[in-house]
Structure 1
Amino acid sequence: MENETPNTTPDPEAERPEPRLEDLPEVLRLACERAGWTALTPVQSKALPSLLESRDMMVQARTGSGKTGAFVLPMLSRLDASRPECQALVLVPTRELATQVAREAEMLCGPDGPRVVAVYGGVAYGPQIDAFKQGAHIVVGTPGRVLDHLLKRSLTLEHLRMLVFDEADRMLSVGFYPDMKEVQRYLPKRRVHSSMFSATYPGHVLRLAEEFLHEPRMLSLSGAHVSVAEIAHTYYEVPAMGRERCLIRIIELEQPAQAIIFCNKKSDVHFLTAVLQQFGYDADELSADLTQAKREQVLARVRDKSLRFLVATDVAGRGIDIPDLSHVILYEPPEDREAYIHRSGRTGRAGASGEVISLVDVIQKLELVRIARLYSFELIRRELPSDESVSEVVAERLSSMLEAELRSKTPLARERMRRFLPLAGKLAEEADGRMLLAMLLDERYQGSLTAAPALPGERSGRRNERRNENRDERRDEGDRPRPEGAAKRRRRPRKRRGGGGGDQGGGGQDRQD
């Protein structure tokens, strides 16, 4: 079955006594003292024995569980601080997380231990290159900027000993998979001790593990039992007015690979579908107003993953099997308590993980709590993201996307682009000019929202890659000098065949790289 854990085995020594802080080697105990830790967290005590023995691992752990300590502490016993070279690489999805992990790693390493550098886009290369020259032992960075340094040869992974993927599920939602595969090409030919930390292990994360880890052992904080089938029930408290704008902010932050959004009323379905489409998202609706033929057509797009967001009433709540559906979003709680179970049951199917997100006001929150008590599941409250935090996430996502595209440009294309550097600088100095730049960036970003981020092993992702390769080949051909007379031949009008089918890949929107 596709969603079963690939090539993972439970740790046969999971039943052995878990180490206490005082049982650790001295260098690790001193690190914990520097951090002010008086005891190990569950994820640390369970993961450390295997990690210290250089076993590849998949660890299911949420933010705030102490997972950074779980993968940094083994580095202290494995890395050689006397050798000025990168020996550990930690890949993370955002610059904020890179800064946070690097700060905690510096605290654990201390002044005489391995040196740490945070590497991410949107800032100057100079300080990061200087840190490499001084001999950064632990590099914590986003895949895109790490890849930039590898291409520039300012960073080498020749001496790498440990590789960590932190919050792998979020990394894929940002769309870093192509960059992660590129980084993999620069890894040493020998085996590198690798581990993965993720809050959930849906199918695409499991497939990623299979590509990067060697016979990993799975560790779940649910005890000795290994469980990848998990539905997280979360909620956001939103104001009564402007609920649709709150949903957009949540979607921007969460970046669901694919979701069903449930509404109680047909009017809300129509309205919300229009709002999502206006914001550039690939969304369609399903309600009792549609004919059966139209319903089947929409559901077929959901099943083959060509539709990212389905907005529906409870017509779609029963009897629909959509593999690997990552999210179910409740625009408001259902009027019938039992309907919550039917709605949430659309995700987490066939052994996969999933998440149910509910939007509630003060009164609806009380009803949601009663539903949770009735069906005995845990509710997780999340803070509604601010416009500022969403802007930061969008800026980082767009920067990564544009940096990836810039790396793919030919030298001649880069030379052509330099003509516009004076104009770009001039526009950046004026308010009206900055608005023009913002317009171009917005159009580019909206074009990336029409499909979910490319995930490993998906047919649509491979199809998009082939489309991009063909487009790049056409672009490269356009950059090459043409023989005399070729320009005239190009200006000659061409007859359309087959009713204007033409080239479907060249004039469309670019996919997110």
Structure 2
Amino acid sequence: MSNSKDGQSADKMQHGVHAEPDKVVEPEESMPEFTNEELPRSILNAIENAGWDSLTPVQAKSLPYQLYNRDLMVQAKTGSGKTGAFVLPLLEKLRPDINYTQALILVPTRELARQVEREARTIFEGTGLRVLSVYGGVGYGHQREALEKGAHMVVGTPGRILDLLLRRTFDLDDLETLIFDEADRMLSIGFYPDMCQVKSYLPRHPISTYMFSATFPEHVLRLSKEFMYKPQLLSLSSKQVHVTEIEHAYYEVPSMGKERHLMRILEMENPTSAIIFCNTKANVEFVATVLNNFGFNAADLTSDLSQSRREKVLEQLRNGDVRFLVATDIAARGIDVPDLSHVIMYEPPEDKESYIHRAGRTGRAGSSGIAISLVDVIQKLELQRISAAYSINFEHRQLPDDKQVIETINERLTTILEGRFRGKTILERERISRYKDLVRQIAQDEEQCTLVGMLLDELYQSSLHSRPPQPPTPKPRPNKSRPQKNYRSKSGKGGKPQGSRSGSSGNKRRY
């Protein structure tokens, strides 16, 4: 059964690969699951209080590794109970009698921060453990007060965590557990710079680190070594490990006004870079024009372009000077751009084989990739035929409404603004503070607010123009061998692995 909800599950499958039941792939030094009799009393109580019948597979499989403090990457589908998987072991690791932050959970969005906080409060009920979520877009007052009282577990977005660290209202000196939720996003191009800064605040003493994600692209496997000591991978969602599958999804859109829905989808998906496929030259030119008029940086590629012009466009795409390429199948032949995060089919291909060629443009060299189709009611039937022919499971995604788009834009803008402010010097901050009264004055007038909106729109449009830089390839760090740490039971019974403050030294690296 599923006892926690991380969101709606998504079907993922490589093109041309038949669906098979999930296969568990254990680390080389695998650990057996605990029986109910072996589970710590605190975890049994939490399961009973939450009304769960049993642990989900990801919780049961990952629990022993976490209680024995082995750095672990856990691959499991969305909706499989990942939040409970990393919160439950904290019942045995956190001490409610000491008022400092002992566990930090890093998440990519404020909504996920709130979701993890809600589930943790349910699991921690009656234990005296305090949990706090911190994220941008709100004032610092409440978050600062909660930190002063002592939050045993803090869950937050990297930008706000970094802001609090820089303001010295938060410290990680006594941290013992670090968790990355949706690790593929946490180590993505957008968050990596902040993650590197957060890493500089981690304590010198050994800590346990865990990463949870539905997929582990090659760059995440590589960058994980910057934060973990000899990490092992536990996979519960794929027959193949270390290979990220291409996601296949579709949006059902009306045939009229499809270009407007494309804009919303691009804002929600926020691709690093993408090829947008159309079936005709006329539609290629139309879509490219609409994208550029809206603020996206796009180029069109059709078969009648000269060779020199074609090569220039492809070079701009590879360099990141162009974020979106709109093309026909014929014009896209021979294109090999390794960093494409998305392939978007504005129109489904005219034959089934072309879908495979289009989708195969993304997910290169072990990277993650998403192939998205925009279809109307009739075109959906063709997608079903492609699904049957190649055994592809297509995820149906709901079209975003205005509220969802605005919330996403607001969160993205807040992250950009807070990130820029962190980089300002003391003199620059003093200069900025001169405008506080003016901002308050403008905010009180509905019409004057439009002036601030104009500035925010300019900032947002510039963020759409080009993709952020890729994280660099980290230099390998020498790993020093250390003895394996085993926890003792708090209750002193049975010698089961339990968290304790006294056992904080052992098998983790020092930063």
- For normalisation by structure 1, the TM-score amounts to 0.83
Contact 1:317 1:342 in 2 (8 A): no
User: Would the aligned equivalents of 1:333 and 1:364 in 2 still touch at CA under 8 Å?
Assistant: yes
Residue of structure 1 aligned with 2:291, choices 276, 285, 288: 276
Q: Which residue of 2 aligns with 1:448?
A: 463
Aligned length: 450
Q: Structure 2 matches for 1:178-197, cutoff 5 A?
A: 178-197=193-212
1:12 to 12, 28, 33: 28
Q: 1:312 is aligned with what amino acid?
A: A
Residue type of the alignment partner of 1:105: A
Q: Residues of 1 paired with 2:368 and 2:331: CA distance?
A: 20
Partner of 1:200 in structure 2? 215
Report the residue type matching 1:12 in the other structure: E
Q: Where does 1:15-414 land on structure 2 (aligned, <5 Å)?
A: 17-19=32-34, 23-171=38-186, 175-222=190-237, 225-414=240-429
Q: Which amino acid aligns with 1:184?
A: K
Q: Cα deviation per residue 1:456-512 (whole Å; 9 max; x = unaligned)?
A: 1179xxxxxxxxxxxxxxxxxxxxxxxxxxxxxxxxxxxxxxxxxxxxxxxxxxxxx
Deviation at 1:319?
3.1
Q: 1:327 & 1:223 partners in 2: Cα distance?
A: 21
Contact preservation (8 Å) 2:100, 2:152? yes
Kept in 2: contact 1:202–1:352 (CA 8 A):
yes
Alpha-carbon spacing, 1:377–1:18, altered in 2? closer, same or farther (3 Å): farther
Give 1:455 shift. 3.0
- Supply the distance in 2 between the matched residues of 1:352 and 1:406 (Cα, whole angstroms): 32
Q: Distance in 2 between matches of 1:257 and 1:208?
A: 18
Partner deviation per Cα, 1:45-78 (whole Å, 9 max, x = no partner)? 2222222221112222343221001111111111
Indicate which of 432, 437, 446 corresponds to 1:422: 437
Shift, 1:223, TM fit? 5.7
TM superposition shift of 1:225? 4.6
Tell me, what secondary structure is at the counterpart of 1:448?
A: helix
Classify 1:224/1:343 alpha carbon distance in 2 versus 1 (closer, same or farther; 3 Å).
closer
Q: 1:504 maps to which residue?
A: none
Structure with the greater relative contact order (CA < 8 A, sep ≥ 6): 1 or 2? 2
Task: Judge conservation of contact 2:189–2:471 (CA < 8 Å) in 1.
Answer: no
Q: Deviations over 1:370-420 (max 9, x none)?
A: 101110121111111111111111111111111121122222222222222
Task: Report if aligned partners of 1:173, 1:254 keep a CA contact under 8 Å in 2.
Answer: no
Q: Distance in 2 between matches of 1:210 and 1:403?
A: 28
CA distance in 2, matches of 1:283, 1:223: 35
- Alignment partners' CA distance in 1, 2:453 and 2:473: 32
Distance in 1 (CA, whole Å) between partners of 2:331 and 2:362 is: 13
Equivalent-residue separation in structure 1 for 2:369 and 2:38 (angstroms): 37
Give the AA of the match of 1:268: N
> What do residues 332-363 of structure 1 show as CA deviations (whole Å, max 9, x unaligned)?
21111110000011112223221111111111
Partner residue of 1:4?
none
Task: Tell me the distance in 2 between the aligned counterparts of 1:305 and 1:414.
Answer: 31
Displacement of 1:86? 0.2
Aligned partners of 2:101 and 2:174 also within 8 Å: yes
Query: How far does residue 317 in structure 1 lie from its aligned partner after superposition?
Result: 4.3
Kindly provide the amino acid, as one letter, of the partner of residue 150 in structure 2: G
Deviation of 1:157 after TM superposition, in Å, equals 0.4
How far apart, in 2, do the equivalents of 1:214 and 1:318 lie? Answer: 43
Indicate conservation of the 8 Å contact 2:134/2:160, yes or no. Answer: yes
Change (3 A) 1:88 1:38: same
Cα shift at 1:135 = 1.1
Are the aligned partners of 2:67 and 2:89 in contact in 1 as well (CA < 8 Å)?
yes
* Offset of residue 175 of structure 1: 2.0
The answer as to whether partners of 1:276 and 1:283 remain within 8 angstroms in 2 is: yes
Structure 1: how far apart are the matches of 2:317 and 2:350?
25
Partner of 1:320: helix, strand, or coil?
coil
Distance 1:283 1:207 in 2: 31
Map Cα deviations across residues 21-54 of structure 1 (whole Å, 9 max, x no partner): 5652221121122222212222222222222221
Q: Which shows bigger deviation, 163-172 or 63-72?
A: 163-172
Give the unaligned 5+ runs of structure 1.
1-8, 460-513
Read off the aligned partner of 1:360 and give its amino acid letter.
Answer: V
2:250 and 2:396 in contact (8 A); partners too: yes
SS in 2 for 1:303: helix
Separation (CA, whole Å) in 2 of partners of 1:354 and 1:316: 21
Task: List alignment gaps of at least 5 residues for structure 2.
Answer: 1-24, 475-511
Q: Are the equivalent residues in 2 in contact too, given 1:91–1:166 (CA < 8 A)? A: yes
CA–CA distance in 2 between the matches of 1:397 and 1:84?
Answer: 33
Do 1:263 and 1:313's aligned partners in 2 also have CA atoms closer than 8 Å? yes
Q: Secondary structure of 1:284's match?
A: strand
Cα distance in 2 for partners of 1:365, 1:19 equals 46
Contact 1:318 1:343 in 2 (8 A): no
CA distance in 2, matches of 1:21, 1:300: 59
Whole-angstrom CA distance in 1 between matches of 2:461 and 2:222: 28
SS at match of 2:264: helix
* Paired residue secondary structure (1:133): helix
| Separation in structure 1 between the aligned mates of residue 36 and residue 450 of structure 2, nearest angstrom | 55
